[in-house]
Structure 1
Amino acid sequence: MARAGRTANPEGRMALTGHLREFKRRFYIAGAALVVAAIGGFFLAAPVLHLLSAPLDELRAQGLDVELNITNVTQAFDVQMRIGFMLGIIMSSPIWIWQLLAFVVPALRTVERRYVFGFLGAAVPLFIGGCATGWFVLPRIIRLFVGFAPDGLTSYLGAQDYWDFSFKLVFAVGVAYALPVVVVFLALAGVITGAQILKGWRWAILTATLFGAFVTPAGEVLSMFIIAVPMVVLYFGAAGVALLVDRRRAKRDAALAAAGPTAGAAA
């Protein structure tokens, strides 16, 4: 939603065709950035996979016989393509996120713009923190699974399966940590209240525990708690923010009601 044409159009409105042209332009910019970043990510895939396989080096140092292998002719290329594409999404994210915001934000009011940037400012560090937590528990999970191999046998792990498992674990924990931002957004939108959020605390604890148990293997209680406890803390933090939002909304409504219908209509 570009600002072009504001001189001839003081309200800053744009025809549907203008919106479509603006969207196409920004889509092409974001797509080009993704392609360029993915090409660069393709050449970075080997060191990234080596970094992800670092837990296996620790296991070998502990005496466990485990190897990361390519199991078919095309798998090396497939793995490198997958890693390159994911790296492309990550590395180009400042560009495509900015293009998305530049298209949407001009249509928002000042308060709504603050909310959008506030949500991004909160969600990004939470997501990164969740990914860091997933990365921290990854070696423990791999160590437990590989430890089930009988003595004298070598564990041959397919590179593609290993990458998929590692990435899904790290990404899932990152998304889970960012979910409280969605809860706060729903509270700001009036869809849910802080009291309703707190009322569901038992379900929140159960869900966090089940999620921690799902992404970590059975018997790895410490890793499960490392994932679940911060999720519960973030949930109650989101509930506290929602309660503050409800309190401010109630004060504002009370002030408008006391000022009379004229003030309410003006607001």
Structure 2
Amino acid sequence: MSHSDDSRNPGQAQAPLIEHLVELRSRLLRAVLVILVIFLGLYAFANEIYAFVAQPLMALLPEGSQMIATEVASPFLAPFKLTLVVAVFIAVPFVLHQAWAFVAPGLYDNEKALALPLLASSVVLFYAGAAFAYYVVFPLLFQFFTQTGPEQVAVMTDINQYLNFVLKLFFAFGVAFEIPIATFLLVLTGATTVESLSRKRPYVILGCFVVGMLMTPPDVVSQSLLAVPMYLLYEVGLLFGRLVRRKRDAEAADEDEA
């Protein structure tokens, strides 16, 4: 009898695992399918999408200027790569929804109530970071680059090199705008306190400029355009951390009175 029970236990243990793996595969396939559908819908406009991304630079070049392709396949691969990245970018809310649907059943109600707003705000902040890079950073950065070079040098940027450059900045600013979420979570989980983070401001400022140096071109303008918003977003995270702490203190006081 015991032998029969032992033989059944492994199967019973494996069944939930197999179900989770099947569900995970299903949700991954849905995410990939949505990205593929979006990509196929956008591919007809691949060149227009590239022209839109290149506009901040092209607007500052002399009239009649154009980019160049130094590799045979670049005129095809650069717009193709950008369109695929844009498809993933657009599909991020759906992908995160699939991830949420997979992990939500294992969360408590209070965790769900907190996780969903954090998930939504992280998506919005990432989009805000990318928009900030395109509408604010790129015009300032490219104006600096195009006006500081020798007059005898014609700016003829390779389309593939330009794409790699702007994608790196999009990602850097998108991630940098997640700082309030990261700071808030550190305070919320008790990993650190608002007071401790406040005392570390000088190190945070230094760290922001180091990150700006590593993730942007080697010039003061681009480093500052990333470092200053990073520090301001850090302060935003501290502000939300203080609000949460005050709310918790008030709830604890109410429970003590009760």
Normalising by the smaller structure, the TM-score range is 0.7 to 0.9
Q: What amino acid maps onto 2:28 in structure 1?
A: F
Once the two structures are superposed, the pairs formed by residues 163-242 of structure 1 within 5 Å of their partners are 163-212=163-212, 215=216, 218-220=219-221, 225-242=224-241
Q: What amino acid maps onto 1:177 in structure 2?
A: F
CA contact (8 A) 2:34 2:91 kept: yes
- Once the two structures are aligned, what percentage of the paired residues are identical? 26
Q: How far 1:254 moved relative to its partner?
A: 7.2
Residues 78 and 202 of structure 1: CA distance in aligned 2, closer, same or farther (over 3 Å): same
Task: Name the CA distance, whole Å, in 2 between partners of 1:96 and 1:129.
Answer: 18
CA contact (8 A) 2:179 2:237 kept: no
Task: Name the CA distance, whole Å, in 1 between partners of 2:187 and 2:251.
Answer: 16
Task: Name the CA distance, whole Å, in 2 between partners of 1:218 and 1:90.
Answer: 28
Task: Name the CA distance, whole Å, in 1 between partners of 2:220 and 2:235.
Answer: 27
Residues 211 and 34 of structure 1: CA distance in aligned 2, closer, same or farther (over 3 Å): same
Task: Name the CA distance, whole Å, in 2 between partners of 1:160 and 1:58.
Answer: 18
Task: Name the CA distance, whole Å, in 2 between partners of 1:92 and 1:125.
Answer: 13
Residues 216 and 134 of structure 1: CA distance in aligned 2, closer, same or farther (over 3 Å): farther
Q: Where in structure 2 are there 5+ consecutive unaligned residues?
A: 1-14
Once the two structures are superposed, the pairs formed by residues 8-87 of structure 1 within 5 Å of their partners are 15-61=16-62, 66-87=65-86
Residues 29 and 121 of structure 1: CA distance in aligned 2, closer, same or farther (over 3 Å): closer
Q: Which has the higher helix share?
A: 2
TM-score of the two chains, using structure 1 as the length reference: 0.79
Could you give the per-residue CA deviations for residues 181-224 of structure 1, whole angstroms, max 9, x where no partner exists?
0121122222122222112111122223344455265253xx65
Task: Name the CA distance, whole Å, in 2 between partners of 1:230 and 1:160.
Answer: 28
Q: Where in structure 1 are there 5+ consecutive unaligned residues?
A: 1-13, 260-267
CA contact (8 A) 1:70 1:76 kept: yes
**Structure 1 residue matching 2:101: 3-state secondary structure:** helix
Task: Name the CA distance, whole Å, in 2 between partners of 1:230 and 1:154.
Answer: 32
What root-mean-square deviation, in Å, do the aligned CA atoms of Structure 1 and Structure 2 show? 2.7
CA contact (8 A) 1:205 1:232 kept: yes
Q: What amino acid maps onto 1:122 in structure 2?
A: S
The aligned residue for residue 100 of structure 1 is 99
